[in-house]
Amino acid sequence: MKFLTIGAVALCVLYAAAAQAQLTRVDLQLVARVLGFLEKPLTGTVRLGIVYIPGDDQSVHEADSIMTLLGTGLSAGNLLFAPVRVRIDQAAAAQVDVFFLPEGLADHAKQISDVAKLRKIPCVTLDIAQVRNGICAIGVRVLPKIEIYVNRTAAEDDDTTFGSVFRMMITEF
Amino acid sequence: MPIGPWTTPVVRRRSHMRGPVPSRRLVGIASIPRLVLAVMALMLAARSPVTAQDIDYRGLEQMFGEPVTQSATGEPQRAGYAPVNMVIITQDDIRRSGATSIPDVLQFVAGVDVRTYGVADAEVGIRGYNQPYNPRLLVLVNGRQVYSDDYGHVSWFTIPVQMEEIRQIEVIKGPNSALYGFNAVSGVINIITYSPLYDSINTATLRGGTQNYAGGSAVTTARVGDKAGLRLSLGGLEASDFAPGNLTETDAANRRSPLIGTFNIDGRARITPNVELILEGSMADGRLAEKNLDGAFDTSYSRDNSLRAEITADTPIGVLKLNAYRNEELVSIGAATLANVTASVKEDVYVVQASDLVKLGADHTVRVGLEYRDNTATGGFVNGTIGYQVLAGSVMWDWRISPELSVTNALRVDNLRLRYSGTPVEGSGFTLADYNNAGFTVASFNSGLVFQPTHKDTFRLMAARGVQAPSLVDFGLQIPAGALGAAAVAGNPDVHPTLVYNLELDYDREIPAIGSTSRASVFYQRNEDLISEPFSSPPVVGTTGIPLLLASNVGHGDAMGAEFGVRGHSTTGVRWNLSYSFVVTVDSTTLNEGPVSTSPASYTDSVPRHVVVAGIGYTKDRLELDLMARWQSSYLDFQFAGTTLRPVEVPNYILLNGRIGYRLTDTFTVAATVRQFNISRLMQTAGPPVERSAIVSVNAHF
């Protein structure tokens, strides 16, 4: 039993490490550049809300990793990301400009979708399935090739609209 | 220079346009280099710090990690997704090449054939069919044509753009008439400059070297917030042309050394967040020795002016664009052999283009366009005024079937109506009514399928039909018997356009292990109703019994070929490229069937079948080193030998160029470029041997 516990913990650590490895500063720089192409482009200091589920160790760990990655801020394009940790159950009151959905929120992400729609706040993720499902408006992928995804319905709901030229160069759902 | 796999009907025989050179023109030419120096001095004295923004070619390029283009379909695309065989030459490529002209850059692109006839005279062809006054290539600067409608010819050295203000040169191989219309049959070269609305470019360059070369350029931009921007550029050069070699005494005497000055102003404004306005004007004065279509040399004196206005609006029904421009060209030719022909011409072309580009749903992008074109040429060589009007409609549909697969189809229909006021030459048999009732309606298409089964692999399958319209000279040249010889020379209002069919398959493969991308291409091209300009046409008997040279359709030709290439770079600062291109052209025409050659267009033999291009470069801190090589097999060119054309076989040759650049400070860079360092004099054409040259440049970048 002891070995099983140790094994399970090790797997969790490895999984968390793998999840952390999936997100890099390059991913966030791409996110920043994409937000610069909004019809109402974000510039200057932008509060990036890192959403997590309290009590979910994996989610908390992932949020911590992203906060560490961003440090005191990450500059790209015309904006500076200032990270803010956001409890998913308190997202409606969070003082942020953009929601960032880490992977692994699963069905809980719907709460953010509702808040983003209500408060007209862009939602960004690396979890493309959440974009395809209309939970999050914008998805980005750096590897193996840079791809940008936008869910048109979610984007309209969030008032996250892009110019025609940009739309022609990305994948829309 | 790491340019790898991707990334004149008879003369412009302007030889019939001889005459005294207006002194005001020479004054104009001479004043421009001084103006360059004055502006450089001003720029050195007053820096203008302007911060570039991130929404434009550069911003998109940085975001996607690859160049972007609109030249393939009119739709903005990542280069890798474009349904054409396109090579994009970046500003870095241009700088590292050490090139002082665009043909110098193109010489190291696989599948591109460059013939250097002088210090400021070159002909560029793509995949065969190159010839003096090549009418088969469409060249644009920011979407404005820079070829002349008289012969469909490009005067490369008077294009009003400085090397330092070019963001990228987009080379499309194969026909693209469905987007651009006539002339886009061998390919399209679109020169994209920096935008003053988004880019900050302040630079001045002085160059000096062998052949008494002295030149310079200056580019500056200024912006008013993010609402408006202005780009000014000017440049000029003076040099001694290559020694005449085996040219005839007449040809040697007809050549004068080049003296060129160009100026451009480009203003752009964002009227509202969704509406942008562009106003652009240019002027170029040039004196340059050139090889005419008949193989003889003369000196051309030209002034080119242009004005362009474009307004773009991003609306709920798509991106609406209205683009209008006027090109004016005044040319006179200096050549003693043309004493009996009026040697000046004035040309005007007006173009208005309207389009709507809209994305429908998530997967479909559609572009509809209308174009109106009106051109005229007035001068003694047409004995009046000749011109035509074109009305064209086009539609493009890009369907992204899945993330891996997309299909693009484009169709365009052009209606051309000829008009002529003047006197047809005696013996041609044509009346004014024949000219004014002439015209045609013709369709062109481009279809392309792009398949990306993995992120490393891209396949492109393309089919196209392009249209080469007869030039104004093909339609309306009027040289009476006795003026240039015993024969009368005439255009033909009944000549048909050349139709070019192209089928091509490309395969791109990324090789991350060595930081490289490779491309393999195979193509087949059919050219129907090839046009012979009047001077080269088989002689016929005119209606009055005199010999007549008449522009005509002379048969068909086929070309097939392949290109293979790889280019890459490492994190250690090394870059490389290697490509091989192969093309075979077979023509079935009535040209040169007699005992004496009458045409320099012997398509079967006039293209080097094998070309290898290689380059290697290295950047370390402030130092840049680049070596470029081109080897090509032999081909056939023609030389005018007194009264007849003489075929000249140009042997295979290897050309080696090198550049070393060193950034002295953040502002100043010095560079030395040696072209053809492997041999002092090299026969690249039937013209004068190309001489080794060394150019030293000092560039200030603010």
Mean pLDDT value across residues B253-270? 94
d(CA B656, CA B470): 38
pLDDT for residue A149 is more than 90: yes
Interchain CB distance below 8 Å, B455 and A144: yes
Q: A-side interface with B, Cβ within 8 Å?
A: 30, 33-34, 36-37, 39, 41, 77-78, 144-148, 152, 163-169, 171-173
pLDDT for residue B39 is more than 90: no
Interchain CB distance below 8 Å, A78 and B68: no
Q: How confident is the model at residue B238 (pLDDT cuts 50, 70, 90)?
A: very high
Lowest pLDDT segment from A3-7, A111-115, B275-279: A3-7
Interchain CB distance below 8 Å, A145 and B273: no
The rounded mean pLDDT for chain A is 84
Strand partners, B668: B700
pLDDT digits (tens, 9 = 90+) for B164-192: 999 999 999 999 999 888 889 999 999 99
Query: CA of B587, closest CA in chain A: separation in Å?
Result: 41
pLDDT digits (tens, 9 = 90+) for B553-595: 989 999 999 999 999 999 999 999 999 999 999 988 887 777 7
Per-residue pLDDT, B342: 60
Interchain CB distance below 8 Å, A169 and B64: yes
Measured in residues, chain B has a length of 702
d(CA B87, CA B7): 4
Candidates A33, A148, A167; nearest CB to B62: A33
Q: How confident is the model at residue B340 (pLDDT cuts 50, 70, 90)?
A: low
Query: CA of A13, closest CA in chain B: separation in Å?
Result: 30
Closest by Cα among B286, B15, B261, B262 to B132: B15
CATH label of the domain that carries residue B329: 2.40.170.20
Interchain CB distance below 8 Å, A33 and B59: yes
d(CA B523, CA B529): 20
pLDDT for residue A19 is more than 80: no
Query: Which residue type, as a one-letter code, is found at position A92?
Result: A
Q: Which residue has the tokens 């080897």?
A: B631
Mind giving me the DSSP string for B306-334? EEEEEEEEEETTEEEEEEEEEEEEEEEEE
In B247-317 the beta strands, taken as DSSP E runs, fall at 259-272, 275-291, 297-315
3-state SS string for B546-613: CEEEECEECEEEEEEEEEEEEEEECCCCEEEEEEEEEEEEEEEECCCCCCCCCCCCCCCCCCCCEEEE
Reading the block at residue A103, the tokens are 């992977």
Interchain CB distance below 8 Å, B314 and A164: yes
Residue B82 DSSP SS3: coil
In B380-427 the beta strands, taken as DSSP E runs, fall at 384-402, 405-422
Q: Determine whether B288 is exposed, middle or buried from the number of CB atoms within 10 Å of its CB (0-12, 13-18, 19+).
A: buried
Per-residue pLDDT, B499: 96
pLDDT digits (tens, 9 = 90+) for B525-537: 999 999 988 888 8
**What is the DSSP code (8-state) at residue B342?**
B
Interchain CB distance below 8 Å, B55 and A37: yes
Lowest pLDDT segment from B133-142, B253-262, B449-458, B633-642: B633-642
CA B450 to each of CA A147, B64, B509: distance values in angstroms, whole numbers, following the listed order: 17, 18, 13
Lowest pLDDT segment from A35-49, B218-232, B381-395, B404-418: A35-49
Q: Is any Cβ of chain A less than 8 angstroms from the Cβ of B456?
A: yes
pLDDT for residue B51 is more than 80: no
Domain membership of residue B8 (yes or no) is: no
Q: Are B195 and B212 in contact (CB under 8 A)?
A: no
Domain membership of residue B2 (yes or no) is: no
Q: Is any Cβ of chain A less than 8 angstroms from the Cβ of B403?
A: yes
Nearest CA in chain B to A39: B273
Q: Are B265 and B280 in contact (CB under 8 A)?
A: yes
Mean pLDDT value across residues B505-512? 96
In chain B, the percentage of residues whose pLDDT exceeds 70 is: 90
Interchain CB distance below 8 Å, A164 and B357: yes
The fold of A23-172 is Rossmann fold (3.40.50)
Number of structural domains in chain B: 1
Q: Is any Cβ of chain A less than 8 angstroms from the Cβ of B241?
A: no
Q: How confident is the model at residue B621 (pLDDT cuts 50, 70, 90)?
A: very high
Interchain CB distance below 8 Å, B54 and A171: no
Query: Which residue type, as a one-letter code, is found at position B161?
Result: V
pLDDT digits (tens, 9 = 90+) for A49-80: 999 998 888 889 889 988 998 888 888 877 89
- Of A1-5, B6-10, B246-250, the range with the highest mean pLDDT is B246-250
Per-residue pLDDT, B109: 95
Residue A52 DSSP SS3: strand
Domain range enclosing B182 = 14-701
Closest by Cα among B311, B312, B258, B303 to B282: B303
pLDDT for residue B212 is more than 70: yes
Sign of CA dihedral B536, B540, B546, B548: negative
Q: Are B112 and B103 in contact (CB under 8 A)?
A: no
Which is it for strands B137-141 and B121-126: parallel, antiparallel or unpaired? unpaired
Q: Which residue has the tokens 């040249």?
A: B477
Q: In what order do the strands lie in the sheet with B85-90?
A: B85-90, B166-173, B187-193, B137-141, B144-145
pLDDT for residue B18 is more than 70: no
Q: How many CA atoms lie within 13 A of B11 on its CB side?
A: 26
Closest by Cα among B464, B397, B442, B36 to B220: B36
pTM recorded for the entire structure: 0.88
Query: CA of A143, closest CA in chain B: separation in Å?
Result: 9
Q: Where are the domains of chain A?
A: 23-172
B 36-95 residues inside an 8 A Cβ radius of A:
53-55, 59-60, 62-65, 68, 75-78
Interchain CB distance below 8 Å, B455 and A145: yes
Interchain CB distance below 8 Å, A165 and B76: yes
Candidates B314, B362, B456; nearest CB to A152: B362
